[in-house]
């Protein structure tokens, strides 16, 4: 969201533009004494880890850090756990294909539900690529 879009949103609403994130941050604060460890702030498309409580500056964006999982000791973005909206693009981890990722438009099909249940779907190509690389890392290293 651009600075102008944030300012326009703030002008249209009586709620703070970061109200929803403040609510989520409060949930994290109820669970840990260092909730900022779970959060990032950003400008445009660059995200940085928070090192203290956020200032909730309307010129900044805030988000919870994307969740990750360990695959073969490598931290990768967590695959989808819930079905995305119909027709959204999903990226399937498919190590046997070239380049190891296949893009589909999500449909409520049995085979897609199976991929979801197996943890093979991501919303971004980059997340799926990292997943593939982690899966093949042990055998790729052994072959080198």
Over residues 82-97, the pLDDT tens digits come to: 999 999 999 999 998 8
Q: What is the pLDDT of residue 14?
A: 81
**For the chain, which residues score pLDDT lower than 50?**
none
Q: 2 in helix, strand or coil?
A: coil
Query: 83 with 113: CB under 8 angstroms?
Result: yes
Q: What is the pLDDT of residue 45?
A: 75
Q: Is the dihedral of CA 74, 130, 20, 86 positive or negative?
A: negative
Q: What is the pLDDT of residue 37?
A: 94
Q: What is the pLDDT of residue 3?
A: 65
Q: What is the pLDDT of residue 126?
A: 92
Nearest to 39 by CA among 59, 16, 66: 66
């Amino acid at each position: 969201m651009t600075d102008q879009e944030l300012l326009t949103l703030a002008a249209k609403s009586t709620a703070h533009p970061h109200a929803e994130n403040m609510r989520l941050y409060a949930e994290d604060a109820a669970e840990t004494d260092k909730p900022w460890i779970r959060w990032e702030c950003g400008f445009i498309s660059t995200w940085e880890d928070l090192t203290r409580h956020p200032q909730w500056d309307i010129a900044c964006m805030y988000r919870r850090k994307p969740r990750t999982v360990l695959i073969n000791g490598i931290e990768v973005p967590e695959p989808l756990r819930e079905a995305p909206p119909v027709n959204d693009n999903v990226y399937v981890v498919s190590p046997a294909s070239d380049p190891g990722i296949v893009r589909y438009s999500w449909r409520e099909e049995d085979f897609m539900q199976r991929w979801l249940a197996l943890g093979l779907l991501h919303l971004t190509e980059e997340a799926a690529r990292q997943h593939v690389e982690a899966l093949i890392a042990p055998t790729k290293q052994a072959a080198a």
